[in-house]
Every structure is written in C-alpha cells, then in structure tokens.
Structure 1
C-alpha cells in the first residue's frame, strides 16, 4: 500500500522548473499529534508572509529618497524569498502607481517596467539572483535610454536617476538575499528603512506618521532590554527619514538622543525607559530645532510614545539575555553532549569503583596454608592428640603438612602411603588423607573460580572504560558541531519545505577544516538512490558546495540526512587470499568507506583452519561495526579484545591491522596489534611500517601501536598477514615499486603478492594462510 501511494503521488507531481530534484514529495503523518497542532499555523503562516511582503513592497514603492530616487520597490522584488516576492512586487507596483496619483513620472514608468521584468526573470530562473538583477536593472536602464533620447526628452538627469536606482536596487536585493528579513539583522533593518522613508513623507496635519512609528518601535526595543537593536534601528531609520525629507533632520536627531537615553540608562525597565526616552527626545529636538518649530516634531514623537504605551505588556517584557559561555571553553550547542559526558563519567567511575572494591576485599584460598587450616578444622580439632601434634610438636606437624603440597599438586590426591615421616604418628591416617584430599579439591576449585572471576571483572571494567571513552569522544564531537551558518540553514530548510514537509531540524555548519556539513531531520521517509543523488545536488547548489549522496539514519519515526562535501580523494580497494589447507582461511578482511574516510582492516586468527577463521572474522566484523559507529581504532581494539577474551573457555586471539585514510586531507592513521608489518608506497617508493606487538584477546589490555602518515593520489597502502612474509620483506618492496610504476589496480597487485608468496611458501615447506589487502588513492574531480 505504501509503495502504491508513493507511485500515485509521483504521477501527480508536474515536472516543474526544478524537475531533476523534485522526484518525491515528502509525506507527513497527519495522524501524529504534533502534525494536527501545527496544521493551523502551517495554513496561516504563508498568508501572513505574503501579506507582510505586500505591505513592505507597497511602502517601498511609495518611498522616495532625496526627492528623485525610488530603489526600494525593485530592491524588495529582487531580494524577497521565492514564496513572497510576487506579493512584494504587486505591492511595489501599487505604491508606484498611487504615489503619482495618475501623473506618473518617466522614472516611475521605467521602474514599473523594471519590476515586471524582475518578476518574469524570477519565475523563469527560480532561486537565482543574477538573472533577476540583470533583467530588472537592464529594463530600468533601457527604459531610461529610450525616454532620455526619445520625444519626451528626459535628458541626462533621467539617465543618472535611473542608473542610481538600478545600483541601489541591486545592492538592496543582494543584501536581502544574503540576510533574509525574516530574522533580526541587516535584512530587517533595510526593510525598516524603506518603511521609514515611505512614512516620513506622510503628514496628517501636524503629525508626521514616520516619526511616530519610529518612536514607538525604538521605545519598545528599549523596554524589551535590547539596546543594541534599538540603537541600530534608530541609526538606520533616522538616515531614511532624513533622506525622505531633509526637514525631518531635527526629528532624527531627537529620536537618536531619545534612543541613546532609553537604551543606555534604563534598558529593560518599562517606566524608566519611557521617562528616559521622553526626556532624551525633548532635549534632542530642542537643541537642534528652534522652539517655535519643534511642536510638530514633539507631537509626532509623543504620539509614538502613546502608541507604545498601549501595546500589550507581554510585547514590552524584557527578553532574557543568553547565558555567556566561559571564555576558556567553547559553548555547548547540544544537551545531548552534556548527557553523554555524564554517562561517560558514570561508566568510568563504575569501572574504577569495581577495581577499588576488589582490591580492598580480603581474598581467601590464595595459599596452601588454607588447605592446612581446613584439614585441621575438619579432622584434628576433635582429635585427642591435638594438643600433642599442634602444640608440643607444632613445627614438625607443620613441616609434614607442607610436605603434602607437591604430592597433591602432582597427583591430585593423597594416599596413606604418601604420608611423610612427620605425619606417621597420626592415629587416623586414612581420615587425614581424605580430609586433605577434600580440602585440596576445594582449594583448587575456589582458586579456579577466583581466576575466572578476576578475568570477568577485568573484562567488565575494561569494557566500561572503553565505552566511557567512546562516549566522551562522541560528547566532544556533539559539543563542538562547528561554526553554524544560519543563512544556508534557512535556505536548505526552505527547500525541504517546498517539497512538502518542513524539516524538524536543519543545521549547516563549517568544521575546523572548513568543510561544510548539513544535517536535516525529517519525519520518517524512504528515499531511493536517485532521489538521494538529486537531493545532494540541490542542497550542494544552495550551500555552494559539491555534496556526496547523504548518509541516511532512521530512528523512532524520524529520518536524518547527513550531507558532507565531496572529498578530494577516492579509495580503490582490492584483496586476495589463500588458505594454508583446504578452503578455510583464518584471515579476514574488511574494506569500506565512511562519509569522510576509507577504512581497511585485516585480522589474522591464531593458527589455521576453522577455529582461526572464527576468531579472525569475529575480530574483523566487530572492528568494522565499531569504526562505522564512530569509535576510534584504539577504543575498537579494546572492545574487540574483551569480546575475544569472553568468547569461550579456550584461549582466543587474533591480530588487528587497520588503516584509516581521511579522503579530504590524505592523513592516514595506522593501528597494529600483533599484526605483520604493513607497507606504504608514497611517491613510487615502498617502505614497511609496524613493529612487533601482542595480538588482541590474550591479555586483559591491548598492546597496540598507532602511527600517522600522509598519503597522496597515486599512493598505495598494503596490509598483509604473516604468511605472506615467509621469505622476508625484500621481494615485497620490489614488487610494490614495480606495480606502483605500472599503476596496477589494487586487485591485480594483491593477487600478484599472494601468488608469489604461495609459491615461495611451498618451496620452503612452511604453508600458512596468506592474505594481502590493498588500498589505492586516486584524485576525485570536484
């Protein structure tokens, strides 16, 4: 049913201008309780956005700067988002038409044509600024040329005016694209400047509407405890008022003094902010304007204060300031990071506590003296000769009991004929042997149990410590998600909203190396491979990067898409293997690429045949899963060591040899635990890497070695099992250099190494499992 619904919905989607990526409309489960709560807001929000865009466009079309320039209408049309630029253009056209009241100037006619051309270009090339800017400004310039040299005779003044309008409109549109007006910042200030310029030219008797509105907004910002926003708004709107009408200069100066007084003296305090703002306004106006001409300006500012006083108290409530992060630490952006860190500390503390308690507890049955004491308590304590044997002849009796230890350890039991001469005086020899045998058997079983319990405790605490370290690494990664890019995050969120489902979360950030990453969380959705590729192309275009198809993570009704930049390198893998006997090899290989790195693992189980194959495959599979989950090589080795140690009662072990290559930088990290030397071919020269160490699964901890090297395109990394090095490393180095010079594929190189090693091993009569895993880096066109 789900597949049928998806097929039917795909058939209903028209092939629009973005046809290659509009492959699927994301679906939301409307039965979910959150979906029902958000549906009214989702229905009202587009209408509010378009209504606001229409009003802003109308004010921008009405606004005139310095008596001749009208750039706001065209600039808003170029800068508004895709869902509301048409409404803004309609408002701008209406403002231009009404401003002339039927007597349109030549400049207004040119602007009407320019707005229409910009709208047409935005419909033809959605989401692209340059075609719309060229169309709008080009139409404005062409109209100016036609009118300037036509019969109407606009002259050079018209050319200069339209040229200035075109430049200002293009700059305004670009700024609005870079800083959307929906969020506080430059974009919102530019729209406010257009509104102030439009309202500054509207007078109702002695009341100037622009001054009143500016005063109300500035006072509201002061009451809300946002002094920076109030001062920035005052500076921008004051300049717009002066540009709209030079006679409003004293009003702008008075509002500037008022905003400074309210923002600096009483931010966030309603009554005090009103008093400081009013006093600063009166002082500013009177210092600039003669008292006889100040009445109109003070009346307008007073109307703004009255309007602010009538606003709901919630609108004037102070905004809580964000908590400042400690200077020595970067802020934590996720509560999950803190929780993971707390869990990591708890697990680490648990491991330390278990070890401390074990060390503090008394340990019984640790020496043969316990066998002697138990034999005394079970037999000699009730014997009539106890006083003679254990007091008068204590030294001889104790020497005789100690003499029983080698006999019991060798034979496992004691016969009456085995009693030494010091114990020949015992009147119950058979009972003494039985009591000693029972005590020694109990001693040996308890000793074995203690050894097994100590191994289990060591494995448990080692596992707790390794998981704690892994959680600590993940916590640090979550706590440092990189530098956020809100503008790109908004563009990506708008794109997914246009497909039918607004994302639950959307974050685009730059990591420490300057790579762009994007994480988009959606309601549970399935994607085909072609759809993921199309999404990667479109998200990459929005972020101005080249993205790989995203990694898809699904959990609890949500799907997260992780986009990462296309790396500079790509890995080509190859391997070959030959079993010592039969078809079962104890060597296991894992080769794969994570979103940012190429991973290659080689594990050699101890011995040959099926038991070695079980250990080798278990170690390789567990290591691969842990690396894919984000564990480092050292932590993965510790956890695999525990798994091998607890796999069975028999001793298990395997070598661990892995290499992880960062496909962005070429940095390679090698980790070896008991593995044979590996080989690197860099610049055509081969060299071995790795020293002797112990395999995993044998000791309580891991005795591994790590190394970091740098590789480039054309280099090889080769991991081999010890069976391939039966004749040393000399011939391997020569073969690698010859193959690198010929640029042999990794599969071909691996087969050549294994076949040559098999021939040499048969000649020496020392067969063993032989495996070679090869990784070659190639340049990846971006």
Structure 2
C-alpha cells in the first residue's frame, strides 16, 4: 500500500488536493449502511490506506462516524482510534506491510476486540463476529483495488482479480454515496447494482489479448546474466593468455631455506648481491625445465664463485624437482580428461542453477519506486534502459538500474530516501559494454572495519599471499585470504587470481558454492597449474549477522568475542589440487564487538602451538595500534626473525551500523 502513496504523490495533483480526496473518500465509505446497520468499511479503509494518507483518511472516517452517532458509531470510532495507533506503531516495518494478510488481519482483529468489549459491557450483540470477518474481507478488497490503480497508472493492465477488486470498491463507494444523496438505502443499492452490471459487462467485453501478460524476467536477473557472462569471458581470456612455466620458487625456495639461510657466506651472496643470485636461479631454472635434472656443471659461474656447497645444492634441487613432478603427475592422474569435463559441466550447471533460482523466486516488486526512478531519469534527459525495484528475503529495498549515460547517484539516492523513508547504503556503480549499471540497497544493520598486514618472505619482492574484501549486491560482506604455494611471483599470481575472480564471480551474482567451484576449475587449468592456493573466506550477512567461514587448505582462524578466542580449523585440500573442491564450512552468528582474525600459515605453521599467539592477542591493547601488524611482528620474533613463509594477518571488526 505504501507504493500507492508514492504514486499519488507523483501525480499532477497538489498535496492538499490529495489529502482532500482521501478525507472525502474516508468520510463517504465509512457511512455505508444496510437497513440502518452501519458497515465496518471505515475500519477496513483505515487498515488499507497508505501510511502517508492515514491521517487525512482517519479524519474523514472519524468525522463521519461521530456525525452518525449511536453505539455503532462510537464502537467503530474506538476501533479506528486503536487501528490508527497500531498503524503508526508499525509505520517503519515494511516487512510486515509487504505481507498480504497484514492489513486484513489488523482490521478483523481490531473490529473483533471492540465488539467483544461492547458485548462484555452489556451493550453489544453477537453480530460483531460477522462484522469482523466483513472488515477483514473489505480491507483485502481495498488493498487489491489500490494495487490495480497502481498498475493502471503505470500504463499496464491489472490482473483479473485486481480488476474485480477495483470494480467492487467503486461499487461500494457508489453505494455509500448514492445512499447519502438519495436518502434511502434501497435507491442506493439499486444504483450500485446497475453500476456493478455495467462494469462487469465492460470487463467481459475486453478481448483476451488485453489480459495481463506473463511477467518478464526481472532486470536484476538480466544484470546478473550480463555480469556473469563478462566475468567468465574475462577469466577465459586470462587462462588462454597465461603460459605454464616451471615454478622456480616452488623448486628452489626449500633448498635456499635449508642450505642458504644458516650459511656463513649468505651475507656475501644473497644479502650483498640479490639480483645476481636471482638471475643465476633463472638460468638454472631454464636448464632444469629442459632436462628435469641439474648437474654441477650447469651452475652459472656467478653462483659457484659464491657458493661453497654446490654438490649439496644440486642434490637438494633435484630432490625438490622430483617431488614437484610427482605432485604434478598425481594431479593430472586424479583429474583426467573425463573428470575435467565432468567438472566443467558441473560448473555450468551451478551457474545456470543460480540464475534459474533467481527466476523462480523473484523479489517482491515495487512498481511505484520503479516509476519514481524512471521519471527522475527521464527528467534529467537520460532514458533508462531498464529499472527494477523490490524487497528481498530480509524485506529490504533494492533498486537496479541500467542507463546509457552515467546516472546522477546523489540525486537518485536522495529522492528514494525521501520517498521511501529509508536509509540507503553506499550505491554501487560500474560500466559495461552495454551501458552504466547502478544498484541502490537499503542500509545494512552491521558495519565492518578491516585491519591487515602482509610481510613477504625475506629476500622476496612479492608476497605469495593476497587479501581482498568486497560487498555483494545482496549486502553480504566477503573477506578472502589466499596463500599461493611457496613464495614469490608464481605464488603471488595464483593467490591474486584466486581472490580477484572470487570477487568478480560473487559480485556478478553467483553464490559462494558456485563461485568457489568455478574458481577451482580455473586454478587447475590456468597459468602455473602446479602451484596451488589456499582459500580462507568469511561471508557476513550485513542484514542478519549470519557468519560463514569457507576454508580450503587454510590456516586456523579465530573469533575474538570479549576475552574469549574461538578457533576455526580446516583439514581440506587447497583450491586447484583436485577436480572437486570440498571446502570446510563453519557457520556462526556475529555480534557487535566481535573480531574475526584470519592468518596465513606463515604465522601459524602446521604443528606449531597456537598458545603464545593466542595469549598475545588477548593481552594486546587495541589502543596501541594495528593488531594485524603486531601479530606479524610478534611471530617474527617468535621464529627468531627467520620466518619460513610469507606472513599475513587480517583483523575484521564488526559493529552495529
């Protein structure tokens, strides 16, 4: 019903004129009676009246009832007073008003309660039961009639049921008006019956093709289709362009860690001339890729001049290369062509399933908001391609719009907030090949702040860890930490690909399950397929506070609530290892004041006791600065400033919005 109020406010009539129309209608409809018995139409009218027109309608209804007088007039006046108070109390609850039965239940309950009170006082009779049913039915009738008016105003053709509701409402109004004019109920009834026959005949004369057409797919679903297609095309292009090469870091890093870190000559080679040593490793990598084995004679002169253990170095590198080949063969055998094709079809079925679910369960649309935004854009000289507005499962407003020119976000947001009496979140705007896309969503109930710190492995310019946080269209906040196998460039490329396309796939509208499976398939066939990546994902519903941890090969995480730390573990394989990704899922419920802590395995390696780090977290004063940086520095000292991997710590603080 709130939609009708917005549509009327955008009509050419001035605000006082609209108030006057509702005042007169309330006064007229509440005076309808049968053989001197007052009908509860005034109560039904107040139950179904839009919130913005509640007071003028109530004034008309109350004035007519007081003029009517008698016990019935007093009783219905009391019922209307209670009903107005309840309506004002639930004014902000759009989730209740979106339910079809809310207004009828309200009208019937109020009529029943006042009738029962009159009966107990000795002034009433048992007719109040029938009057309560009549009030509920009339409230449902008026609500459907208002929806029919809204569709007609938008240029559409209402469904048959709504057309009959509008016809019946007009007849009831005519019945009340003609009774008042002619001073006789019988004359009014005859005239109303004639009007009913005329309108019904008009309705039967309409050709079949004028009926309401089947609903088209929502523009929001169209947005999702376009965005999903764009992301999948981009991912395909990236996988095609990437060339698989020998992951030098994965083969040489363990040897360097074992032989070079504790060597007395390390300050003369790696610390003093890192670039020369890195070039030497690249040359050795070319030879190793060609022959799959390294010999002492293959070591560059710049390397042998500095290294006093060339034999041990060659043996260690060959052992790591053999392990690398064994891992790759295991992956290839476990994958196989048929398994890979099955996984491809599964990914496509998941994508189509997500889109089909949206088509099967569309949002409850709000035609008045659509018309409001559409009119505003046209007034600004930009004819929109498509506009949709509706309420999701949380009863929160969401508007999707596609335009040819860049829209004026501030003006649209201000208009919607004033018209809908709601607070909006930060709008989303992006550009595609087909135009500009905008999404406005009602403001969330939870807010977050992020603290992160990444420290590359000593001697590496790039960290193999990547962190990404983003918000989806349905107001879910996603925090993702990915740790590529090893360190350096290859690990960095893999982890960045993981978080980049997890974000793009989920922002395109895919659900978490589908996005992770598509990503897993991409990691298996993309650049550096032998380099895996862990996934540590937190999904927070900013409306409800529902919390979900998705972990694939990731280090433990923690929930800090007050002085209590809760550990969240994972024993699953990383992404890109097996055809089917089976991450571990942990669900919880967030509370304001909670902190979510994600770590890479550089801070908490397998087998390492968590107690020192947990004690440090609980004792750390957040007023001293960044907890993420402090955890990394603490673990560096704990491992005597010789960490074996990149170190990344992420702290997500949750508060009430």
What TM-score, normalized by structure 2, do the two folds share? 0.56
Q: What does residue 130 of structure 2 align with?
A: none
Greater relative CO, 1 or 2 (CA 8 Å, sep 6+): 2
Is the contact made by 1:551 and 1:563 (CA closer than 8 Å) also made in structure 2? yes
Name the CA shift for 1:214/1:315 in 2 (closer, same or farther; >3 Å): farther
Q: 2:343 aligns with which of 462, 465, 469?
A: 462
Q: What does residue 519 of structure 2 align with?
A: 640
Distance 1:640 1:774 in 2: 25
Q: Displacement of 1:585 after TM fit?
A: 0.7
Q: What does residue 456 of structure 2 align with?
A: 579
Distance 1:639 1:59 in 2: 58
**Which residues in structure 2 correspond to 1:359-758 (within 5 Å)?**
455=336, 458-481=339-362, 484=364, 489-496=366-373, 499=376, 501=378, 506-511=388-393, 514-519=394-399, 521=401, 524=404, 526-541=406-421, 545-552=422-429, 562-580=439-457, 581-594=459-472, 595-648=474-527, 651-726=530-605, 727-739=608-620, 742=621, 748-758=626-636
Name the CA shift for 1:748/1:200 in 2 (closer, same or farther; >3 Å): same
Name the CA shift for 1:634/1:540 in 2 (closer, same or farther; >3 Å): same
Deviations 1:351-377 (A, max 9, x none): xxxxxxxxxxxxxxxxxxxxxxxxxxx
Q: Displacement of 1:750 after TM fit?
A: 0.5
Deviations 1:704-750 (A, max 9, x none): 322212221111111111111255311221122234xx4559x7110
Name the CA shift for 1:165/1:494 in 2 (closer, same or farther; >3 Å): farther
Q: What does residue 128 of structure 1 align with?
A: 52
Q: What does residue 655 of structure 2 align with?
A: 778
Name the CA shift for 1:528/1:62 in 2 (closer, same or farther; >3 Å): closer
Distance 2:29 2:592 in 1: 60
Distance 1:58 1:703 in 2: 62
- Equivalent residues, number: 462
* Superposition RMSD in Å: 5.6
Q: Counterpart of 2:575 in 1: which secondary structure?
A: coil
Q: Say whether 1:189 aligns with 2:168.
A: yes
Q: Displacement of 1:700 after TM fit?
A: 2.9
Q: What does residue 425 of structure 1 align with?
A: none
What TM-score, normalized by structure 1, do the two folds share? 0.48
Name the CA shift for 1:128/1:618 in 2 (closer, same or farther; >3 Å): same
Name the CA shift for 1:497/1:675 in 2 (closer, same or farther; >3 Å): closer
Deviations 1:8-52 (A, max 9, x none): xxxxxxxxxxxxx9xxxx9xxxxxxxxxxxxxxx9xx99xxx9xx
Deviations 1:609-663 (A, max 9, x none): 1222111211221222222223344433332222222224662211111111112
Q: Say whether 1:214 aligns with 2:185.
A: no
Name the CA shift for 1:704/1:460 in 2 (closer, same or farther; >3 Å): same
Deviations 1:70-99 (A, max 9, x none): 999x99x999999xxxxxxxxxxxxxxxxx
Distance 2:60 2:356 in 1: 50
Q: What does residue 274 of structure 2 align with?
A: none
Name the CA shift for 1:582/1:184 in 2 (closer, same or farther; >3 Å): same
Deviations 1:472-526 (A, max 9, x none): 13322331235x37xxx24424533663649855443352xx4333445565453
Structure 1 alignment gaps of length 5 or more? 1-20, 27-41, 83-126, 145-155, 222-307, 324-330, 345-409, 412-447
Q: Displacement of 1:566 after TM fit?
A: 2.6
Distance 1:521 1:188 in 2: 34
Is the contact made by 2:532 and 2:576 (CA closer than 8 Å) also made in structure 1? yes
Name the CA shift for 1:576/1:566 in 2 (closer, same or farther; >3 Å): same
Structure 2 alignment gaps of length 5 or more? 1-5, 88-102, 104-138, 150-161, 229-291, 294-328
Larger radius of gyration: 1
Q: Counterpart of 2:350 in 1: which secondary structure?
A: helix
Distance 2:68 2:49 in 1: 33
Distance 1:138 1:59 in 2: 9
Q: Displacement of 1:64 after TM fit?
A: 7.8
Distance 1:218 1:715 in 2: 65
Is the contact made by 2:517 and 2:581 (CA closer than 8 Å) also made in structure 1? yes
Name the CA shift for 1:715/1:68 in 2 (closer, same or farther; >3 Å): same
Is the contact made by 2:30 and 2:61 (CA closer than 8 Å) also made in structure 1? no
